[in-house]
A and B are shown apart, each in its own frame.
Chain A
Amino acid sequence: MNVISFALLAILTHTTLLVAPGDDSVRPEWVELSKHSNLPLHCETIQSELWATRDEARSDAFNQAVARAQDFAADVAPRIKNTWQVPAWLVHDHLLREPIYVEEVDWTYGPMYRAHLLLELSPEKRGVLLANWHQFVVRRRMGQIGGGVGFLLVCLATMLAYLRLDDATRGYYSRWLFTGAAAVVASSAAALYTWIV
């Protein structure tokens, strides 16, 4: 049942795909240590709210971890906050120090669940985050430059086609050809604008 619900959640959200259930039978030591602020260097714990199921609690904790990672990276590069979403796989692969622990809490109307995770926010991990941000920015800029060059190429090809067709038709359809060429250029410009903006 647990596996089925995890698979369904994995289909619905990409974050849950990465939040695989851990061994919840043994309470980890770092959960207790967090209460006394006695964690390892550059480590933080994150707790979810109380949820009715384990997977919901796990996802909530993981989403909080992603947001925290984004804030952590934005400390040195504020532009990150508005331009980039830290990928979940990056948090899972690089920042999550221990498997997520989900504890069962007895509540007035039954058992509830709270997830705990240990996040490493060291300068090295920030470097990893920034490197990935750079990669994202570079690829986006490459796409923009490629779009610009593509637009230039479309203009060139349109002009070439216009000249050749105008010669081939001995100037009979110059206006139509010019209108068509202008339409091609305008539509490609609009497409470029839409894509970039």
Chain B
Amino acid sequence: MKFTYTSGARPLEGYTIKRGVGLGGFGEVYYAVSDGGKEVALKLVQRNLDIELRGVAQCINLKHQNLVTLYDLRTNDVGEHFVVMEFVAGKSLSEILEEHPTGLPLDDVNRWLKGISTGIGYLHDKGIVHRDLKPGNVFIEDGIVKIGDYGLSKFITASRRSGQTESVGTVHYMAPEISRGKYDREIDIYATGIMLYEMITGHVPFDGESVGEILMKHLTAQPDVSKLPPPYDLVAQRALAKDPAERFRTMDEFAAGLNGRLSAPAAFASTKETTPYVSPIEPSPIANALGAAPALAAACNPPLSPPMSVPFWMLGVYEGMAGVNGILRFDGAELSLQFKVKDKLIGAIKSSFKDVRIQLQDIERIRFRRGWFRDRLILQRATFPDRVRLHISRRDRSESEQLVDAVKKSLAANATAQAARNRASPEALAGPMLGTKPNPAADFFRDVRTHAIHWYERPWSLKDYFLAALCMLGVAIAGTAAMGGILALLPGAIVAVGVALIVMKLTKKQSVQAAVASPIARPIVLNPVPGANPVPSSAVIMEAAMRAAMNTQEPPTPPSPLQPVRMAPAPRTFPARELTPKPIRTRLVEMSSAMLLTTMLSIIASVLAAGIMRLNKPEECALLAATCLAGCWAVLIPAKIWEGHHGDTMLRRLIMAAIGVGVGSWSSYLDGVLNVGWLNDPDTAPILFESMAWMPRMLADASFFGLVFMMPRWWLIADSRRPIKLNPWMIIVPCFWAWLVSSLWIRSYFDHVFWGVVVTGMVSGLVQLATPWEDPASRRRAV
């Protein structure tokens, strides 16, 4: 953080600055001491001057123990405006929350809520809305909660309830009606509800990658209050209602909703070692989705809103196993879906089917990626489920009803055929192709095909890779032994195809494949009640997110009261906050420290490798180290630039290939400069670059490293959120690829075929070792 004034400065007559304590959206805050020795906080207002000064002027005479006292509003000689206010030495709620990533003890939550509700209630009684209530503006000092930052406070009168023009605040705590410019004190109740949720769970209910995404979640998504114990869940549910009229009317009502839990003044325990609240065992997703929602709706007071008027109608709920592809046919059109078991869900929608909307439960972020060959819609979940549920809706209700009827009939026929097949062969899994007729021969081949595809498509374990490698090895050995002449090439070709399939398997995680039928991904629930149970269109969210990504202005969509479908809780949860990119400064620090570390590791590893490879000359060892170091840095720099950002994979591969060409050129240049002479003719070696003898070597090196850097997604191995610190497969696979390239492509130019393989393996291993890694388990615990 950088401050305008440093310690000892006297920008305002009578006050000496001691240190800066924070930066806000409106300016800088300093800890200062008056000439008389009074400790104060000086807030230098730099932005949104009118709003800030107006808010301060309105609040300057308020006195309450739960409010940070404002002393004065001053202007110095150069026209800078300072707010002189009480200095609170204690921690803010946001700092407390950082210390308790899994949430605060409920006793502490009650005490915080009591102070907040009392202070905000006082403000409301004075006709003032805080408008920027958030953990960073709530402090604790000597056990007393104090609310600060009146910068956004604003008078609300009956006549001014409509037509507010300022839409300001902090996005995670911003009530949905702020986007419409019509709001009242209910926005503070909404923000308090968010803080209640955050204090208990450790994270905000609505998070996302972009401001637009978070705002749209405020507008449309329902909070998962199942993580809160009663009666906090109902209080949060009501405080976070989309419609301001459904929220608590006053802070007193809010406090009363907690059944007197806020009336126990006692010391805070959050500074001690405490046990946070742990949510009870979650019910099953299906039970949540189908059964718990009505119960929750009934429990909420007031009742949830009537059905919305968004013109999308639910076609059905599609549930299937993760990791396989599924296909649904609606009246000849086609909807392709792909589920992933790991961290991504990718859906592809045919252009002829643009009016179909998909809603995923537990959506954490929705991204629209423009690819080279096709655009992709990427839906990323916060959870790693075994099963996924999709809500599919379509714009035209009447047509949807017809389609639903058709789908129902198809499902019924398919279920009958499925049952018959299962009886015949219990192990056989039937395909869900909708509208297909039973045909034994076709079924057999389809089953074989779908089993093969399913085996190939599902996430592979170590055993699968080992099995595949063993099969290929067997084919190669048997084929080579049995065949002669030109036929001896056949096993090699088979092995090459197998290798290509494995490499595709490893690298196609983000690619959208043509949908194929899967025996497991079958619709098991189809809810043909478009009129009675309309599903909010996530397309609204998607389009808003896309607009936000493209920085286009679009009027905010009116809030859509949602059908109270409880989101399926999952045992493994990653909030999208963790998926957001780190600040560039942080990545710069990580990158430079990793680059330093790889330097040392490269030298050590090169000495060891030189010993193993019996490289006797020191220049050979130096060449190995310098090439390895160049490779490490070539991976680290783009990886840290791209970390947290999602770009087109093909483009990144091409960039990595170009970087690889550079590394290869550097290597061959060093080879010539150091006169290693693995390729050089002894007669021309003395000339040292005076002939063109280095050209073949340079071309060979450049093409080798270009190909090696293009194929694996190198940038993933430097991501601090990678699944494991040192992934052996991310060493073996690039090494195998390097061996393949050096053997088949440029063998004639390499005296040391394994030299490139060694460099590749060293780069992969050292980068993984040197880059910081955040343990997923600790990240989960932090959630």
| A and B held together in a complex | yes
Q: Which residues of B contact A33 (CB under 8 A)?
A: none
Give the docked Cα–Cα distance between A134 and B688 (Å). Answer: 9
- Find out whether the CB atom of A171 lies under 8 angstroms from the CB atom of B1: yes
Q: Does A141 contact B (CB under 8 A)?
A: yes
- Find out whether the CB atom of A171 lies under 8 angstroms from the CB atom of B2: yes
Stretch of A88-96, A149-157, A184-192 lying at the B interface? A149-157
Closest beta carbon of chain B to A41's beta carbon, Å: 22
- Find out whether the CB atom of A160 lies under 8 angstroms from the CB atom of B626: no
Assuming the contacts A77-B686, A130-B686, A142-B674, asked whether A174 and B589 have C-beta atoms less than 8 A apart, the reply is no
Give the docked Cα–Cα distance between A87 and B686 (Å). Answer: 18
Give the docked Cα–Cα distance between A142 and B622 (Å). Answer: 8
Assuming the contacts A163-B589, A172-B6, asked whether A149 and B599 have C-beta atoms less than 8 A apart, the reply is yes
Q: Which residues of A contact B686 (CB under 8 A)?
A: 76-77, 130, 134
Mark B93-136 against chain A: 1 for CB-CB distance below 8 A, else 0: 00000000000000000000000000000000000000000000
Q: Does A137 contact B (CB under 8 A)?
A: yes
Assuming the contacts A134-B685, A142-B674, asked whether A170 and B19 have C-beta atoms less than 8 A apart, the reply is yes
Chain B interface size, under 10 / 10 to 19 / 20 to 34 / 35 or more: 20 to 34
Give the docked Cα–Cα distance between A171 and B626 (Å). Answer: 36
The residue on A at minimum CB distance from B629 is A149
Q: Which of A115-135 contact B (CB under 8 A)?
A: 130, 134
Q: Does B58 contact A (CB under 8 A)?
A: no
Give the docked Cα–Cα distance between A139 and B676 (Å). Answer: 11
- Find out whether the CB atom of B622 lies under 8 angstroms from the CB atom of A145: yes
The residue on B at minimum CB distance from A158 is B592
- Find out whether the CB atom of A138 lies under 8 angstroms from the CB atom of B19: no
Closest beta carbon of chain A to B329's beta carbon, Å: 56
Q: Does A159 contact B (CB under 8 A)?
A: yes
Assuming the contacts A134-B685, A160-B589, A163-B585, asked whether A171 and B596 have C-beta atoms less than 8 A apart, the reply is no
Partner of A160, one of B593, B599, B674, B688: B593
Partner of A142, one of B6, B595, B596, B619: B619
Q: Which of B641-665 contact A (CB under 8 A)?
A: none
The residue on B at minimum CB distance from A172 is B6
Mark B609-623 against chain A: 1 for CB-CB distance below 8 A, else 0: 000000000110010
Q: Does B7 contact A (CB under 8 A)?
A: yes
Q: Which residues of A contact B20 (CB under 8 A)?
A: 170-172
Q: Which of B1-34 contact A (CB under 8 A)?
A: 1-3, 6-7, 19-20
Q: Which residues of B contact A170 (CB under 8 A)?
A: 1, 3, 19-20
Q: Does A164 contact B (CB under 8 A)?
A: yes
Q: Which residues of A contact B6 (CB under 8 A)?
A: 172
Give the docked Cα–Cα distance between A174 and B3 (Å). Answer: 10
Give the docked Cα–Cα distance between A104 and B425 (Å). Answer: 113
- Find out whether the CB atom of A156 lies under 8 angstroms from the CB atom of B592: yes
Q: Which residues of A contact B585 (CB under 8 A)?
A: 163, 167
- B contact patch SS: helix
Give the docked Cα–Cα distance between A167 and B588 (Å). Answer: 13
- Find out whether the CB atom of A138 lies under 8 angstroms from the CB atom of B3: no
- Find out whether the CB atom of B19 lies under 8 angstroms from the CB atom of A145: no
Assuming the contacts A134-B686, A163-B585, A164-B589, asked whether A174 and B2 have C-beta atoms less than 8 A apart, the reply is yes
- Find out whether the CB atom of B595 lies under 8 angstroms from the CB atom of A156: yes
Give the docked Cα–Cα distance between A70 and B670 (Å). Answer: 27
- Find out whether the CB atom of A145 lies under 8 angstroms from the CB atom of B1: no
- Find out whether the CB atom of A160 lies under 8 angstroms from the CB atom of B1: no
Q: Does B573 contact A (CB under 8 A)?
A: no
Partner of B592, one of A134, A142, A149, A159: A159
Q: Which residues of B contact A153 (CB under 8 A)?
A: 596, 599
Q: Does B305 contact A (CB under 8 A)?
A: no
Q: Which residues of B contact A160 (CB under 8 A)?
A: 589, 592-593, 596
Q: Does B675 contact A (CB under 8 A)?
A: yes
Q: Which residues of B contact A138 (CB under 8 A)?
A: 619, 674-675
With a 10 A CB-CB cut-off, give which of A130, A137, A156 has the most chain B CB atoms.
A156
- Find out whether the CB atom of B589 lies under 8 angstroms from the CB atom of A172: no
The residue on B at minimum CB distance from A134 is B675
Closest beta carbon of chain A to B229's beta carbon, Å: 38
Q: Does B673 contact A (CB under 8 A)?
A: yes
The residue on B at minimum CB distance from A146 is B622
Closest beta carbon of chain A to B688's beta carbon, Å: 7
The residue on A at minimum CB distance from B617 is A138
- Find out whether the CB atom of A141 lies under 8 angstroms from the CB atom of B674: yes
Give the docked Cα–Cα distance between A76 and B683 (Å). Answer: 12
Q: Which residues of B contact A164 (CB under 8 A)?
A: 589
The residue on B at minimum CB distance from A163 is B589
Q: Which residues of A contact B7 (CB under 8 A)?
A: 172
Q: Which residues of A contact B596 (CB under 8 A)?
A: 153, 156-157, 160
The residue on A at minimum CB distance from B622 is A142
The residue on B at minimum CB distance from A127 is B686
Assuming the contacts A156-B596, A159-B592, asked whether A137 and B3 have C-beta atoms less than 8 A apart, the reply is no
Give the docked Cα–Cα distance between A146 and B688 (Å). Answer: 19
Give the docked Cα–Cα distance between A160 and B593 (Å). Answer: 7
Give the docked Cα–Cα distance between A138 and B589 (Å). Answer: 35
Q: Which residues of B contact A145 (CB under 8 A)?
A: 622, 626, 670, 673-674
Q: Which residues of B contact A77 (CB under 8 A)?
A: 686
Give the docked Cα–Cα distance between A130 and B595 (Å). Answer: 38
Closest beta carbon of chain A to B11's beta carbon, Å: 15
Closest beta carbon of chain B to A4's beta carbon, Å: 40
Give the docked Cα–Cα distance between A146 and B670 (Å). Answer: 12
Closest beta carbon of chain B to A64's beta carbon, Å: 25
Q: Which residues of A contact B674 (CB under 8 A)?
A: 138, 141-142, 145
Q: Which residues of A contact B619 (CB under 8 A)?
A: 138-139, 142
Partner of A137, one of B629, B670, B675: B675
Mark B420-442 against chain A: 1 for CB-CB distance below 8 A, else 0: 00000000000000000000000
Mark A52-75 against chain B: 1 for CB-CB distance below 8 A, else 0: 000000000000000000000000
Give the docked Cα–Cα distance between A172 and B618 (Å). Answer: 47
Give the docked Cα–Cα distance between A156 and B39 (Å). Answer: 41
Give the docked Cα–Cα distance between A159 and B587 (Å). Answer: 13
Mark A22-40 against chain B: 1 for CB-CB distance below 8 A, else 0: 0000000000000000000
- Find out whether the CB atom of B673 lies under 8 angstroms from the CB atom of A149: no
- Find out whether the CB atom of B588 lies under 8 angstroms from the CB atom of A163: yes
Q: Which residues of A contact B688 (CB under 8 A)?
A: 134, 137
Partner of B3, one of A141, A156, A171: A171
Closest beta carbon of chain B to A136's beta carbon, Å: 11
Q: Which residues of A contact B626 (CB under 8 A)?
A: 145, 149
Give the docked Cα–Cα distance between A164 and B6 (Å). Answer: 19
- Find out whether the CB atom of B588 lies under 8 angstroms from the CB atom of A172: no
Q: Which residues of B contact A76 (CB under 8 A)?
A: 686
The residue on A at minimum CB distance from B5 is A172
Mark B588-607 against chain A: 1 for CB-CB distance below 8 A, else 0: 11001101100100000000
Mark B664-680 against chain A: 1 for CB-CB distance below 8 A, else 0: 00000010011100000
Give the docked Cα–Cα distance between A160 and B19 (Å). Answer: 24
Q: Which residues of B contact A149 (CB under 8 A)?
A: 599, 626, 629
Q: Which residues of B contact A157 (CB under 8 A)?
A: 592, 596
Please list the residues of chain A having a beta carbon within 8 angstroms of any beta carbon in chain B.
Answer: 76-77, 130, 134, 137-139, 141-142, 145-146, 149, 153, 156-157, 159-160, 163-164, 167, 170-172, 174
The 8 closest A-B pairs by CB, nearest first: A171-B2, A160-B592, A156-B592, A171-B1, A138-B619, A130-B686, A163-B589, A138-B675
Given contacts A139-B618, A171-B2, 16 further A-B contacts (CB under 8 A): A134-B685, A138-B674, A141-B674, A142-B674, A145-B622, A149-B629, A153-B596, A157-B596, A159-B588, A160-B592, A163-B585, A163-B588, A164-B589, A167-B585, A170-B19, A172-B20
Q: List 29 A-B contacts (CB under 8 A).
A: A76-B686, A134-B675, A134-B685, A134-B686, A134-B688, A137-B675, A137-B688, A138-B619, A138-B674, A139-B618, A139-B619, A141-B674, A142-B622, A142-B674, A145-B670, A153-B599, A156-B595, A156-B596, A157-B592, A157-B596, A160-B593, A163-B585, A163-B588, A163-B592, A164-B589, A170-B3, A171-B1, A172-B6, A172-B7
Please list the residues of chain B having a beta carbon within 8 angstroms of any beta carbon in chain A.
Answer: 1-3, 6-7, 19-20, 585, 588-589, 592-593, 595-596, 599, 618-619, 622, 626, 629, 670, 673-675, 685-686, 688
